[in-house]
Structure 1
Amino acid sequence: MNRKTWMAAAFMLLTQSAIAAYDQAPNHYRLTISDDAKRAQVEADVWVEGDELAIFNTMPIPKLKNGQADLLENIVVTDMAGKQIRLKNKGEGDFELDGDRRVKLRYEVRLDHDKYEWPGGNEEVFYRTDEGFLSSAYALFLVPLKAMLGKTEVTVALPPGWSVNTQWAPTDKPNTFTANTRRELVNNVLFFGTAKSEDFSSGGMQIKLVMGKRYWAQSAMIKQVIDRQLASYVAMLGKPPLAERFMLVLNQGDSGDGGAFSGSFSQYLKGDADEASRMIWGRVVAHELLHFWNGLTLVPANPEEEWFKEGVTDYLTVMAMARNDLLDREFINQHLQNMVRGQHVARKLMGLKGTVRAAAKDKHRNWLLVYGGGTIAAMAMDLELRRATGDKLGLEDLMKALYAEFGKPGKTYTHADIVRVGMQIGGVDLGPMLETHLGSETALDMAPMMAQIGLQVDVAGMLETHVQRNKDVTAEQRKRFTAIFGVPY
């Protein structure tokens, strides 16, 4: 037996031994929120595969060098017989221990997260209202780093009169839920308190809507956006996302931004959810809903494809909203102007360097490149596919084909896959065009792109940007504009 064969055999034996050692029992967490909602206590028994526990998705900030992990206190780990196990804090939420066995955990979480500003926005980490608080599950649960085997049962104990809203599946026991995977357990948000919620079906999915009390008078308009967009996305992508249950949490917040998780999303609304501002709040809701497909089911293998996750999502969001009569012709024109203006602002005013692909390394600082540059690349792909196929196919068809191939658990796509699938469905090589848009470090001239949908671009200085109808527009260009946005040219 040669050395490589011996090593492979040894690895198989070790793997089989580890699998055999797993006791096949579910994991259990009990989360207790103190009556003043200032602390949480967590008790758990969990199988630790490997030798590390972790708080995932930590965001180091100046006052908390280990991010959310610095708010964990009094961590005690024992074996199932009660003998204490040494725990080494490795920093940024990683803890080393003697694992590959079931252990008991006990720790407290100081619920002070709302006292800090988080890079991704507090709507993605923790905030309080007069009806309770929202927290990401990332901030609450210390879990095995290598892998989390088996299902996890979570029981929540709450202050009097409070309830917990979650995407997890309920069991027949009070305030007890099941998460099938580690991702489902920690990659979600929860709302604790007295806020009203409503459960309904939309787009073939079960939706839980949780909102602050000021928004329930506007719930019909919010649900209209949800219903129309989900129906469009199912048709656009060919099938629902992987998760069957989703929770949407909406509350007032000045950023007006939101964040999507594996089966939930959290959004701040700047003001009321009325028709006049629907182009703002509705677009954020619609954008985050589409992430349940593009980003959470269709997952890139490389972080540099963040432009695809955000840019394609934004382009298709606006396309679907316009077709659903949720955005008017005037907004579309403003949106196209902003696409052009945004790149000049990013490069010349903000001085952002690097390529659109590389911008993902500092997404929040480079959001104009990731989102704006990504949206322009999405439009370029759409137009290239339409040109090559006589307007028979577009970006929707590329997404449907990618989703059919890669919208599966554990399967990821690469940049090369995007180019390959474009060639398969449209007979066109998207590679050179994408290299131009994603590899450039300057604001590109968008006039040739806009001309393909009958629009003229005029740029004067840095902020004076105008996109208007071209007096020499052709019938083909008019038809293409309407095919994309669903409104008359």
Structure 2
Amino acid sequence: MSAKFNFRSVNSCLLVFLFTFFTAFGYETDGSPSDNYRIHIDANSKKKAIVECEITLEDDKLYMSPIGANQFPSRWAHFVNDLEAWSMKGEPIKIDTLAGSNWKIHADPGSRIKLKYRINLDHEDFKWSGGIDGAAYARDWGVFYTGRSIFIMNGQQKKDITVEFDIPKKWKVSSPWTNSLSQPLVYSVNNLTTLSDSMFFAGTHEEYRIQRENFELIFAFGGAEIIVQKDKFTSMAEGIMDYYINLMGGVPNPSPEDAFDKSIVILNSSSNTDGEVIGNHISILLKENGDMMSEMIGRFIFAHEFFHLWNGKSFTPAGNDCEWFKEGVTNYYTLKALYHIGFLDKNAYLKTLNDLFYQRYDKDKGVGVYSLTQGDLKHDHWGLIYSGGMFAGIAQDMIIRSSTSNKNSLDNIMRHLYKKYGGTNEGYDLDELESLLSEASETDQAEFFKDHILGTKRIPLYKYLNMGGFDAEETDGSLLVQLKKEQNGPEKELSDGFFGVN
């Protein structure tokens, strides 16, 4: 039987192909050229990047991200040199330097122009409040950049931006952007926010990808000491990811305004252990020949920030008064995850509860002065918001479990928030949290909220741990806690729940 040639089908496929091509690699859907960047890096002069770009002006302003580099009057522009602009005909265009990392370009909106500038990668020569990982840096095996440290942008509405790399032959690029299969070093970026809030590593590092449903986690490992441990890191990541997915009931489901299906984790060896999240991506520096505490901090940073893809991205507080829940409860589930994968045993879990969290809570001068609802203070009062929020989460978990014979737990609240708010632009508020916790515990939590959330009373953590099969006391600025030597059945169920076993 002869086959018929279906012109309608072919035309339909051709339209889909053309649409995909033009939107992903060089043109916006209205047919106008998209903004594109070309980044040149030479292996012999890694501490310099030459950026060339073509952009269509929305207005007469050029700028870099307003986030970070606060120690410099010109912010990220401190590292920019030789900024030049031309028309598409090659005519020079005047640029005026403004305050901060801003410039005025003397060209009309709608004009297509060319820019060229140099980034000096000497960020490590300066002190950074959160360490060097929020900025760019070089290693023998390559270079790390955040979007905010390298891209000069224009406008607000740009979409389908193209980024292309010109790098040494043996190098590769690890980034969270969409890659062109036919052009390995060409990437499509959804919009300016995604561009600015991204990070990438270019070099001779190694990469590993983990896929779950429609979500991909990308690892970039740099440095011999890190690469030797890559199997251990990826095993850790898969275990933590599966624990979170099982807990929540699905992969991260962000709001449409902050949609993503990839996150990158970049790990490099360094002289100190540090880490930071930018957008949906994680940068971790691990101290060479680091001790157990260094290992703990590195893994804690990953597990904590990764959980924010659910508690923070999939469901989000409507205001700062719920930051204690976002940050503190995330700390609680971070310890559960590290126990789940076997990195922490029960003794190490309880020791970390005191050494890392209780100590900072007890020493924080905001405890007893400010309420947990003052989330805007979280950077100045880590012990209050991060530790205090964690203790509020533990207290509520123990209240719920003990009052319902372990049928309900804080897990129910997390799954409910994920199901209700995942994939939406809506957020939860303090009244809803109080209502949900009261419902789950079958006990009115108004008094707890009045004293410990809205009020400034210290959370007596020992009291709630003792409800869950522990012997705990707070004395001389320390939390002394251990499992009861003889637990009855309900107590064991509660302590198992505390460790994340059920």
Decide: shared fold, TM above 0.5. yes
Q: Is the 8 A contact 2:51 2:118 kept in 1?
A: yes
For structure 1, list consecutive stretches of 5 or more residues without a partner in the other structure.
1-19
Distance 2:88 2:387 in 1: 52
Deviation readout 1:252-295 (Å, 9 max, x if unpaired) = 23542322334431112234589997544333332232223223
Given that 2:327 and 2:386 are in contact with CA atoms closer than 8 Å, whether structure 1 keeps it comes out as yes
Task: Give me the whole-angstrom Cα distance separating, in 2, the residues matched to 1:381 and 1:52.
Answer: 50
Give CA-to-partner distance per residue, 1:435-463, whole Å, 9 cap, x none.
Answer: 5334455643222222221223333333x
Report how far residue 61 of structure 1 moved: 4.2
Cα drift, residue 328 of structure 1: 0.7
Q: How does 1:275-286 map to 2 (within 5 A)?
A: 279-286=296-303
Q: Residues 469-484 of structure 1 correspond to what in structure 2 (within 5 A)?
A: 469-470=483-484, 475-484=489-498
Instruction: State which of 343, 359, 365 in structure 2 corresponds to 1:341.
Output: 359
**Contact 1:136-1:189 within 8 A present in 2 as well:** yes
- 2:41 and 2:49 in contact (8 A); partners too: yes
What pairs up with 1:290-301 in 2 under 5 angstroms? 290-301=307-318
The letter for the 2-side match of 1:217 is V
Name whichever of 293-302 and 170-179 sits farther off: 293-302
Aligned to 1:284, the other structure's residue is in SS state helix
CA distance in 2, matches of 1:303, 1:47: 37
Match of 1:30 in 2: 38
Q: 2:145 aligns with which of 135, 138, 163?
A: 135
Within the candidate set 233, 248, 257, 2:244 is matched to 233
Corresponding residue to 1:170 among 179, 185, 194: 179
Task: Determine the C-alpha separation between the residues in 2 that align with 1:292 and 1:142.
Answer: 27
Q: Tell me, yes or no, if structure 1 residue 180 matches structure 2 residue 194.
A: no
Shift of 1:38: 2.3
Q: State the 1:167 CA deviation.
A: 1.5
Structure 2 unaligned blocks of 5 or more: 1-27, 254-259
Q: What residue is the counterpart of 1:9 in the other structure?
A: none
**What are the equivalent positions in structure 2 for 1:383-422 lying under 5 Å apart?**
383-387=398-402, 389-408=404-423, 410-422=425-437
* Cα distance change on mapping 1:298 and 1:186 into 2, 3 Å: farther
Q: Which residue of 1 aligns with 2:469?
A: 454
1:4 matched residue in structure 2: none
Per-residue CA deviation, residues 39-95 of structure 1 (Å, 9 max, x unaligned), is 222222334546644322532444x12332322233345565666666555533344
C-alpha distance in 2, partners of 1:354/1:329? Answer: 32
Equivalent positions of 1:309-388 (< 5 A) are: 309-338=326-355, 339-347=357-365, 354-358=370-374, 360-361=376-377, 363=379, 365-387=380-402
256-265 or 424-433, which deviates more: 424-433
Cα distance in structure 1, aligned partners of 2:341 and 2:213: 14
Q: 1:230 Cα deviation (Å)?
A: 0.5
1:71 corresponding residue in structure 2: 79
Specify the code of the residue in structure 2 equivalent to 1:152: I
Identity %: 22
Provide the secondary structure at the position in 2 that maps to 1:143.
coil
Number of residue pairs aligned between Structure 1 and Structure 2: 463
Aligned 8 A contact 2:470 2:483 in 1: yes
Residue type at the aligned position of 1:221: K
CA drift of 1:99 comes to 7.1
Corresponding residue number in structure 1 for 2:22: none
2:162 to 135, 147, 153: 153
The answer as to 2:270 corresponding to 1:253 is: yes
Instruction: Name the CA distance, whole Å, in 2 between partners of 1:476 and 1:283.
Output: 30
Which of 104, 107, 116 aligns to 1:106? It is 116
For residues 293 and 65 of structure 2, the distance between their equivalents in structure 1, rounded to whole angstroms, comes to 39
Native 8 Å contact 2:274 2:286 kept in 1: yes
* Structure 2 Cα separation of the partners of residues 266 and 318 of structure 1: 20
Moved more, 410-419 or 113-122: 410-419
How far apart, in 1, do the equivalents of 2:33 and 2:179 lie?
A: 19
Give distance in 2, aligned partners of 1:273 and 1:229: 22
Letter in 1 for 2:496: T
In the other structure, the counterpart of 2:232 is 221
Normalising by the residue count of structure 2, what TM-score does the alignment of the two structures yield? 0.80
- Inter-partner Cα distance in structure 2 for 1:22 and 1:253: 46
CA distance in 1, matches of 2:398, 2:207: 42
Instruction: Tell me which moved more, 424-433 or 69-78.
Output: 424-433
User: Given the alignment of the two structures, is residue 444 of structure 1 paired with residue 459 of structure 2, yes or no?
Assistant: yes
Counterpart for residue 209 of structure 1: 219
Distance verdict in 2 for CA 1:383–1:319, change over 3 Å:
same
Q: Residues 319-338 of structure 1, C-alpha deviation per residue, up to 9 Å, x if partnerless?
A: 12323333211112213334
